[in-house]
Amino acid sequence: MSYRVVEIFKEISKIPRCSKHCKRIIRFICEWANNDGFKCRLDDYGNVVVNIPATKGFENKPSFALQGHMDMVCVKDENSNHDFNEDPIEVLERNGWLIANGTTLGADDGVALAIGMALAEDESKPHPELELVFTADEEIGLVGAVHLKDKFVKSKKLINIDSEKEGVFVIGCAGGEDIDLSFPVKRQARRFSEAYRVVVSGLKGGHSGTEINHNRANAIKLLNEILDRSFSSVELVELNGGKARNAIPDFAEAVIFTDTVDEVKSIAKSVENYALPLFAGEENLSIEVEKAETEMDIVHRDDFRRIVDLINKLPHGVYKMYDDETPKISNNLAVVELSVNGFKLFSNQRSLTEEGLDKICSIVEEIGRELSCDINRHSRYPSWTPKNNSKLLENAKRTFVNMFSREPMVKVIHAGLECGIFVSKLPKDVEMISIGPNMEDIHSPKERLDIDSLVRTYELVCELVKS
């Protein structure tokens, strides 16, 4: 019966569910609930709570919440034709792992939905009343959790199933905020005659919370280095890079005009040669300069210079460490978009403390002001402060040892979790932990999920709600 959790995950993967597009997954969950005789409740934003009655003998036990988010980060390989609004995720099994075909898999956080639904279906698993709490739009700033109605969930114990390492119990996380920098750009007639596309690709990318300290290259930064070094001999037409605020940019491209393409190619090769040893594990980095066609006018030289300086000056990566493994403060220079009339840059800041978050945000703001950008700070969410006397945590540790004969790791993480928001939404004495199966390279097309680990995590959750 345990492998039903894998079947449900594959069923969920057939349903398009990018952030801001959760209607179909909401409908799927509520239809499943109604068919099985469970009560499905929606709030005004689209967060879902499914109430699962207690099994025999557990009717008088306190209710228990299992929580995850419905949306996923939708990122694909540059050569993929996948339509996230219509196409199902093509889930493949490879050597004990689930992967997708050229796209993100959506294990973050489809596993939470699958575990909760599988447990509700399994009549052999005893449990108290369960509240399956599935939030919308987590990946774009924990928006669903922010809009969750107070007391919409009554449970005083909650397991968030949104972590990526089996045997790790998360008891605290970073808070975060987004900053958008923008300014209008002028266009002018070009002087040079030949158009070329400069493409940086093949990078690992990844989650800006869990992998920002893994020394991964930023495609936008590398491309900007090429534009900066060749500034006097190129004219900028187009510039785009990155795919999501919380994903490290693995792809960026620019269209330029130049009459000295060999010089540009030489600079591109030089940037590639210095980046390969600097960023360990980025052996698939590729920088190509290829012929292009465009009728657009070029960006005015002053605005071109401002774009290059802004990307140069903005920090990317870890600003300060919390311990040997966990960042305390970071900034992800995430997305750049150059339109006909304007330039936009989107960044995501994280910190384990409110003071640290203010610090990194003020640095980004100051650079934006220096270069006369319009500045928009938004989507702030709080950090989650650990509870040292949690009975839920102690029981979880004891249960894990009994099941797997090893001690779990207890830690604070740099990624953002909805638990920080739930502190103010749930009963005051709520206790929470976050767990999950082994996943790798989430928020990237290389994302994969360990099948056996998913099954073990499901069994662990079953034991936790039972005990």
Residues annotated as catalytic (active site), given as ranges: 71, 138
Amino acid at site 101 = N
Residues 6+ apart with CB under 8 A from 136: 22, 26, 45, 46, 47, 48, 69, 70, 71, 143, 144
CB-side neighbour CA atoms (13 Å) of 392: 23
The radius of gyration of the chain's CA atoms, rounded to the nearest angstrom, is: 24
What are the tokens at 286? 């590729």
Q: Output b/e per residue, 125-147; b: 16+ Cβ within 10 A.
A: bbbbbbbbbbbbbbbbbbbbbbb
Taking the CB of residue 274, how many other CB atoms lie within 10 A of it? 12
Q: Output b/e per residue, 332-343; b: 16+ Cβ within 10 A.
A: bbbbbebeeeeb
Peptide bond connecting 250 to the previous residue in cis, omega within 30 degrees of 0: no
Amino acid at site 366 = E
Angle 167-215-332 (CA atoms, 0-180°, nearest 5)?
A: 90
